[in-house]
Amino acid sequence: MSDKGDAEDIVCPEITMKYTGLAIREFLMALGVGSPYEFYKCFKKVKPDTSYKNIAYYFYLLKRAGLIEPVFTVRSSRGGIDKTMYRIVPGKEEDLGWLHPQQLFYPETRYGARKYWKRKKTI
């Protein structure tokens, strides 16, 4: 292990999707289980401007939608935050919720920011 922590120990499968939900599905299908941080480190190679906060929020939405589930928790070796490992719920691999999980809970997001604010002004 290096001085930078376990970031170098992360195995990154090839991620071809730029949509975050689909990329998480691709990542978990390739590895079986994974954490938001591991996905974040791999996804930064595909979409460099993504933030960890955004990735953590997607994992939260996917868990809330029933598409992923926590499997086990890895204790932090340095006294930090424990790492929760997730997997895809069996049978949910082809669910349409992977494309835009935020729309499951916030349907108004389907408009996009510009259309949303324009529509909101007319209401």
Residue 36 lies in a domain: yes
Number of domains within the chain: 1
Better-predicted residue by pLDDT, 9 or 5: 9
What is 12-52 written as a DSSP string? -------SHHHHHHHHHHHHS-B-HHHHHHHHTTT-TT--H
d(CA 110, CA 116): 8
Residue 53 lies in a domain: yes
User: Containing H/E element for 88?
Assistant: strand 83-88
Residue 1 lies in a domain: no
* Structural domain boundaries, residue 43: 6-122
Q: How many residues are there in the chain?
A: 123
d(CA 79, CA 75): 8
Does this model's pTM top 0.95? My answer is no
CATH of the domain at 116: 1.10.10.10
pLDDT digits (tens, 9 = 90+) for 18-41: 899 999 999 999 999 999 999 999
Residue 52 lies in a domain: yes
